Chains A and B, each alone.
Chain A
Amino acid sequence: MAEDPTGQALVLGFETSCDETGIGLVRGRTLLSDALATSMAEHERFGGVVPEIASRAHLEAMVPTVHRALADAGVTAGDVDAVAVTSGPGLTGALLVGVAAAKAYALALGVPLYGVNHLAAHVAVDELEHGRLAEPSIAMLVSGGHSSILLVPDLSQDVQELGRTIDDAAGEAFDKVARVLDLPFPGGPPIDREALAGDPRAIAFPRGLTGPRDAAYDFSFSGLKTAVARWVEAQQRDGVPVRVPDVAASFQEAVVDVLTAKAVRACRDHGVDHLVIGGGVAANSRLRAVAQERCDAAGIVLRVPSRRLCTDNGAMVAALGSRLVEAGVTPSDPDLGADSSLPITVVSR
């Protein structure tokens, strides 16, 4: 095994919780490679990710994607010091392809294996670009599968959930509204694009769970999605052409307003002055801009990974694995499996 002069572990990360087969290599906090295969094109016509199609694609992509990650990093499999894999939450069948592959690579390479939490990995990936996370930090994770606000006293072993969505995930709302507006799936990028030409104040869409007696850090996007659909239907009924950019901008503003207000409030309430935002929706340009404005006004340091690392990838798993190695966390048992609803409080298992 080639000894790294810096003494830092080389970690190989596997991510297969949804439709992306992500394999990443990280040494310490340095990103070496981030190979990705996606089956998104096969899901488009269904308007959502089809689990069996995703699982089939993971199997096909697995070994070639590992090879690509190793080649891009300029290392060989024998150089790897530890393996990390998303063991939940996510789609069970999809997760299991990654877990089985990671277990086999770890066994054959004779290195420790870490089954990690996908959500914590979304936070950890920011360390690759912005250095060690301030602890405690508040983390907000927003994607097609999850929307939650976390208090992170210690990313390697202590993550607490302050709030989460009680119905749709933020990204899910983007997908559903995109469908109403006849925009492609996934809905985030086209809505972001349309909104650039629209007026965010054109339509006053509801802000869910923002009343004085509502849970401070929980989200609800189902009512917003329905409000958008009703508004579009009413326009169509009246024979008024729907101004897609205005609808997109107003919808996006409602989501972004609620997300950023609650994240900043979580920081203030807990006396925390660092906020990190991760997940696919963190690639949204309006979210990034409004979060920056509000954090600046509140004296909060905002950290958001570059767009490429916000969406699911293998580097985020390797990043968290690297953090666990560094912290001396006990590796996973050999009978590691997948847990589709792994709670965020379980960073590794």
Chain B
Amino acid sequence: MLTLAIDTATPTLVVGVADGDRVLTEAAVPSGTRHAELLTPTVTAVLAEAGVALRDVGRFVVGLGPGPYTGLRVGIVTAAALGDVVGAPVHGVCSLDAVGTGPRVVLTDARRKEVYWAAYDGDRLTGPDVGRPEDLDLPDLPVVGDDRFAERLGRPVTAAEVTTAGLLRAVPGGDPAPLTPLYLRRPDAVPNITRKPVSR
């Protein structure tokens, strides 16, 4: 069965097509905050390169984050819409699960001087969670992910990104669950509890 995988949880946009667990084509586009602009053109390009028609895709996989919210939603709503038209299931996965393999700590940029992280030893042991690198009490495992945080973490970080193979491995068994992003933070909002006069 053909799978189209999408992840927009990090500044690198990932789109891949796989036949079973064999990845046919994959694109990793350093798109920063331009996921919305570049995602559908990348899907078109990846499908063309794999020689696959969108209607032949039997399953979609999408990263639910954690990641910067605006980009994350672009990937999720795109996968949901494609799956809706094609009539194929859309499986959401934790994006951190798709970075690296084996026993490890995965760490990505959460902005605001914080990181998203999770720890794995076979299964996910801890996380996903968000925090300042200096404050994390990480298990004694190799750290992979965004290597710009090595200094603040005080430990080496091996650069690694989300991959299509990783996204496929991360798909949980069973029917797809609702595509709820892993936000991990509550919306920024200052409630207007006390009503103050508006004159200046």
Contact B192–A45 (Cβ < 8 Å): yes
**Does A2 make an interface contact (CB < 8 A)?**
no
Segment at the interface with B among A51-59, A126-134, A301-309, A320-328? A51-59
A335 to B190, CA, bound (A): 35
Q: A97-B73, A107-B44 are in contact. Are A52 and B189 (CB under 8 A)?
A: yes
Q: When each residue 3-39 of chain B gets 1 if its CB lies under 8 Å from chain A and 0 otherwise, what string results?
A: 0000000000000000000000000000000111111
Q: When each residue 173-200 of chain B gets 1 if its CB lies under 8 Å from chain A and 0 otherwise, what string results?
A: 0000000010100011111100101111
Residues of B within 8 A of A230 (CB): 199
Contact A336–B189 (Cβ < 8 Å): no
Contact B82–A92 (Cβ < 8 Å): no
Q: A100-B74, A105-B85 are in contact. Are A337 and B34 (CB under 8 A)?
A: yes
Segment at the interface with B among A176-184, A212-220, A242-250? A176-184
Q: When each residue 32-59 of chain A gets 1 if its CB lies under 8 Å from chain B and 0 otherwise, what string results?
A: 0000000000000111101011011011
Contact A101–B70 (Cβ < 8 Å): no
Contact A100–B195 (Cβ < 8 Å): no
**Does B80 make an interface contact (CB < 8 A)?**
yes
Give the one of A50, A103, A336 with max B CB within 10 A. Answer: A103
Residues of B within 8 A of A336 (CB): 37
A155 to chain B, nearest CB (A): 26
Residues of B within 8 A of A48 (CB): 192
A222 to chain B, nearest CB (A): 10
Residues of A within 8 A of B138 (CB): none
Q: A226-B200, A337-B36 are in contact. Are A52 and B81 (CB under 8 A)?
A: no
A226 to B39, CA, bound (A): 46
At the interface, is chain A mostly helix, strand, loop or mixed? helix
At the interface, is chain B mostly helix, strand, loop or mixed? helix
Residues of A within 8 A of B44 (CB): 107, 334
Q: A47-B192, A50-B189, A63-B84 are in contact. Are A55 and B70 (CB under 8 A)?
A: yes
**Does A342 make an interface contact (CB < 8 A)?**
no
Q: When each residue 94-108 of chain A gets 1 if its CB lies under 8 Å from chain B and 0 otherwise, what string results?
A: 001101110111011
A67 to B80, CA, bound (A): 12
Contact B84–A66 (Cβ < 8 Å): yes
Size band of the B side of the interface? 35 or more
A20 to B134, CA, bound (A): 40
Residues of A within 8 A of B43 (CB): 107
Q: A105-B85, A225-B198, A230-B199 are in contact. Are A52 and B69 (CB under 8 A)?
A: yes
Q: When each residue 64-94 of chain B gets 1 if its CB lies under 8 Å from chain A and 0 otherwise, what string results?
A: 0000011001111111111011100000000
Q: When each residue 133-161 of chain B gets 1 if its CB lies under 8 Å from chain A and 0 otherwise, what string results?
A: 00000000000000000000000000000
A311 to B191, CA, bound (A): 25
**Does B40 make an interface contact (CB < 8 A)?**
yes
Contact A96–B73 (Cβ < 8 Å): yes
**Does B54 make an interface contact (CB < 8 A)?**
yes
**Does B122 make an interface contact (CB < 8 A)?**
no
Residues of B within 8 A of A62 (CB): 77, 80-81
**Does A229 make an interface contact (CB < 8 A)?**
yes
Which B residue's beta carbon lies closest to that of A99? B36
Residues of B within 8 A of A59 (CB): 73, 76-77, 181
**Does B41 make an interface contact (CB < 8 A)?**
yes
Contact B37–A93 (Cβ < 8 Å): no
**Does A109 make an interface contact (CB < 8 A)?**
yes
Contact B74–A108 (Cβ < 8 Å): no
Q: A55-B70, A55-B73 are in contact. Are A104 and B81 (CB under 8 A)?
A: yes
Interface residues of A (CB under 8 A from B): 45-48, 50, 52-53, 55-56, 58-59, 62-63, 66-67, 77, 92-93, 96-97, 99-101, 103-105, 107-109, 176, 179-180, 182, 225-226, 229-230, 232-233, 334-338
- 15 further A-B contacts with Cβ under 8 Å, apart from A45-B192, A53-B187, A226-B198, are A52-B69, A52-B187, A55-B70, A56-B69, A56-B181, A96-B36, A97-B74, A100-B75, A100-B77, A103-B78, A108-B82, A108-B86, A109-B85, A179-B192, A338-B36
> 3 closest Cβ contacts across the A-B interface?
A104-B81, A108-B85, A47-B192
